[in-house]
Every structure is written in structure tokens, then in C-alpha cells.
Structure 1
Amino acid sequence: MTDRYRVVPASYVFLLRGDGDRAEVLLQRRANTGFRDGHWAAAAAGHVEAGEDPYTAAVREAREELGVTVDRADLVPLTATHRTERTGEPVDERVDFFFACRRWSGEPHAAETGKTAGLGWFPLGALPEPTVPHERAVLEAVRDGGPPAITTHGFG
């Protein structure tokens, strides 16, 4: 046994449209996932699979969850968040890679049935309740000028 972290990496894609006070983000209401069901969250997000880098995972998640095609070059890194749920379980130790994307092809829709209770565009200044807390923190930082390159969540 070791005291070193065994983290689970994940990529998040915030589809954004509009600028300034009119900027909006596409969110999904989580359902049937076992984690924060009923909360609003990034419309495309998921684990980085074996052999993938965070960009490749983000492109794949956008296609799988929203049915849109995103070019890797259109993914703008926002922050990497090291977070914990403080359970002591390895599955609850995470490193999340957040990307903004303002260009894609196709019309976003709930492509993975059963995992969402709906999609909606929301102003960055009026995020819905409840929003997954660590995602809300990133979106609020985006609204306020941008998060730092590395952030943490859940450490106290």
C-alpha cells in the first residue's frame, strides 16, 4: 500500500456561444449515472480511456454524448482540476481537464439515451440549480475572466 494518489482522469467540454454578458453554456441534467443525478453538468464529459490523451477523450465525448464533431484545434484548455470526494476510495480521486469549445459541426442533442434528463443553454451569469459544484466553480471563473491553469476542489 502506498500514500500516492491513484487518480481517475476525465475530460469536460463546455460548448459556449455568445460573448460577454450574453455568453451561454450548454449543460445536461444528469440522470441514471450514480453521480450527482439531477444536477446540471457539462453536456459532454467522461473518463479519459486507456491510450487517450485529454484532447482525444474530449473529442470522443462530444461525439458520443452530443452527436457533434469537434476539431481538436477548437478545444481551448480552461483548467486542470485536482479534486477529491474525501471518501478515501481511489475512484473518488480525480484530475479533470476542462475545455471550452465555440465551434463544432452538427446540432447538439442528447445522443446517449438514458444518461440525461435534458439539455439546455444557460447564461454564464445565471447557471441553473443545482449545478455540479466543481463544474460550477469552473464556469463561474470563466464568466469572471478565466480560471487559473490548475485548480483544486474538495481539499478543505
Structure 2
Amino acid sequence: MIGDVHLLLTDDQGRVLFGRRANTGYADGAYHPPSGHLEAEESVVDALVREADEEIGVVIAPGDVEFVHVMHNSSSGGRVAFFFRVVRWQGVPENREPDKCDALEWFGLDSLPAEMIPYCREALDRIASGERMSVYGW
């Protein structure tokens, strides 16, 4: 089963940073928070910290990572997506993967962009309502 981490980098106005997918061949044009797959022998927190640096150039202390949701998704035969909120970080977010992302934008959870990957929209709706676990697509 594939494990994913999703970063809900949240500014002082409560907005979350999203990237717009481009040139990936999957859901190009859709907005998605910085995310990635777990690597071998890596904790979910370590993966989140690594992805934040790789994708948007911010440094996150592991103690500043707050678990907010887990989703068991049926895609690809089964995936587990972990969502984490971070409100404190070092650096200024920048697009470090212009070959996969053509824009970074902040959105409130109550004003999400129209174009999103469906499971992610569902997870964010669940997070906004305080749910910590969901199942999608089964």
C-alpha cells in the first residue's frame, strides 16, 4: 500500500498553500497541497519535512507538525494519505518544482479552488468539519 503525506501550510489568515499541477499527465490544472510518497525507512513526519523543503523550500521543525487527518483511498489498489497542518516554518515558500507545478496560491478551506483532485477536496472538507479519519472510493 502506498503512503502519502500532505502539507497544509497555513498562514496567519488561516489560508492553506496550494500548487497548481502542470506537465505531470495526471490532473494537470488542479490545485493540490504540497505532498509526496513515503520513502523506505522514513517516518510520516520526516517525509513531510523533506517534501516541504523539496517542493516549496521551507524548513519545518518536526515538533511543529500537527496531524489533522488520515484517509484510506481506493486509488491504485489502496493508498493511505496523511494530512498535517503546519503554522510555523522558516523561509518563504517558493516553487521548487516548476516542471510539475506552474503556480503557488493561498486558499481558505472555506474558499477552495474549483479545480482540485476529488479525494483531496473530500479530505479537506472532512478536516474543516473536524473529522480525523475518512475512507474514500471503497
Assess same fold via TM > 0.5: yes
Query: For the residues of structure 2 that align with 1:152 and 1:48, how far apart are their CA atoms?
Result: 19
Q: How does 1:21-60 map to 2 (within 5 A)?
A: 22-42=13-33, 44-60=34-50
**Count of residue pairs the alignment pairs up:** 138
Q: What's the Cα RMSD here?
A: 1.3
**Residue 95 of structure 2 aligns with which residue?**
110
The normalised TM-score by structure 1 is 0.83
Give unpaired runs (5+ residues) of structure 1: 1-6, 86-90
Q: How does 1:1-156 map to 2 (within 5 A)?
A: 7-18=1-12, 22-42=13-33, 44-85=34-75, 91-144=76-129, 146-148=130-132, 150-155=133-138
**Offset, 1:130:** 0.9
Q: Which runs of 4+ in 1 moved over 3 A?
A: none
**Offset, 1:151:** 1.1
The normalised TM-score by structure 2 is 0.93
Give unpaired runs (5+ residues) of structure 2: none
